[in-house]
Structure 1
Amino acid sequence: MAPIGSLWGDARQRQTKYILSAAAIAGLEVDLQPFEFGVTNKSPEFVNKFPFAKIPTFEGEDGFILLEGASIARYVASLAPESGLLGNSIKDAALVDQWIHFAEHEINTFTDYIWQLVERFVPEKAYSENIHKVIAERQERSLKFLEQNLDLRKFLVTDEITLADIIVAGVIQRAARVTLGAAERALYPNVFAYYERVAGDPRIKDIFGAKDFVEVPVAPKKDE
């Protein structure tokens, strides 16, 4: 099968995992291009084609250009409607989108905020324990909501893996490498049993790779 297009991204990046996983389940091939961060995306050829100069980026065989991981993954899924990745009805598709937005904005946003705060990627490299606490509480609220929704469900929308499950699993993997240590993960048994179902699917297991979960959440160094 000929590739549907070329993808520039890092295979370790959750957004790239979304796209490659969607393609694998859809039975489609995406040509992952060689990429070196800070080099490839600063080359004149790359910037001319992708002015935003970020990854992942996609170019279809017909020249169609697309940015943002979830959008590219959704486009890939739409090319194989029989895969069930977008559900089986208009309502299913709306639920898929709901969970994608929820995962990206109500869980992953807080993972990124906390990581940036602890690593001093904020103005004046300041760290605020109070801000850290508030952000962690907001993520906790979202995880509790997800835990409740998975109480009696194998997957989020249908009885099979959809794009929503791929993206939620990617977001959970990222959180468990940053904000959710062993003690925190124990609070969400449904979420992490679900993660194992999705990330352990033989079609995408190698794409998700090793869990590499942290034992304790990231925190500022004691001398900071």
Structure 2
Amino acid sequence: MAPIGSLWGVPRQRQTKYILSAAAIAGLEVDLKPFEFGVSNKSPEFVNKFPFAKIPTFEGEDGFVLLEGASIARYVASLAPESGLLGNSIKDAALVDQWIHFAEHEINGYTDLVWQLVERFFPEKGYSESIHKSVLERQERSLKFLEQNLNLREFVVTDEITLADIVLASITQRAARVTLGAAERALYPNVFAHYARVAGDPRIKDIFGAADFVEVPVGPKKDE
């Protein structure tokens, strides 16, 4: 099977997992190009094609260029409607989009913010304990909502894996490497059972790779 296009990204990146998993379940091939962050994305050839110079980025065999992981994954899924990745109706597709936006903004957005806080990415290497606590509380609210929605069903939209499940599982994996230690994960049995179902699917198990969960949430770096 000829590839539908080329993808620039790194396997550990959650967005790359969205795309490769969608392609695997859809029965499509994507050519993952060699990539070295800070080198490949600064080359004139890359910047000329992708001026934003971030990953993941995609170029179809027909020259169609796309960025943003969820958008690329949705495009890939749309090429194989029979896969069920976007559901089986217009309403299903809307729900898939709903859960993708929820996962990215109401869960992963807070994971990334905590990581940036503890790694002192902000001006003057600033860290705020009160902001850290507030962000975790917001993520907790979102995880409780997801936990309730997974109480009576295995997947969030239909009776099989959709793109929404792939995105949610990727984002759950990311959170469990940053904000959710063992004690926190125990509060969300449905969320992590869902993660195990999706990440353990034989079609995408190798794409998700090892869980690499932390035992305790990451904490702030000491003042230098």
TM-score, structure 1 length as denominator? 0.99
Deviation at 1:222, TM superposition (A): 5.0
**Alpha carbons of 1:125 and 1:77: their partners in 2 closer, same or farther (altered >3 Å)?**
same
Tell me the residue number matched to 2:57.
57
Tell me the residue number matched to 2:114.
114
> Quick one: distance in 2 between partners of 1:23 and 1:196?
20
- The aligned amino acid for 1:45 is E
Deviation at 1:223, TM superposition (A): 5.4
> Quick one: distance in 2 between partners of 1:63 and 1:220?
44
> Quick one: distance in 2 between partners of 1:212 and 1:117?
21
Tell me the residue number matched to 1:102.
102
- The question of 1:10 aligning with 2:6 is answered no
Q: Percent identity?
A: 88
Count of residues paired in the alignment:
224
> Quick one: distance in 1 between partners of 2:192 and 2:4?
33
Tell me the residue number matched to 2:91.
91
**DSSP 3-state at the match of 1:51:** coil
- The question of 1:179 aligning with 2:188 is answered no
- The question of 1:146 aligning with 2:134 is answered no
Tell me the residue number matched to 2:195.
195
Tell me the residue number matched to 2:124.
124
**DSSP 3-state at the match of 1:172:** helix
CA offset digits 1:13-63 (Å, max 9, x no partner): 000000000000000000000100011000000000000000000000000
TM-score, structure 2 length as denominator? 0.99
Gaps in structure 1 of 5+ consecutive residues: none
> Quick one: distance in 1 between partners of 2:89 and 2:73?
18
**DSSP 3-state at the match of 1:137:** helix
Gaps in structure 2 of 5+ consecutive residues: none
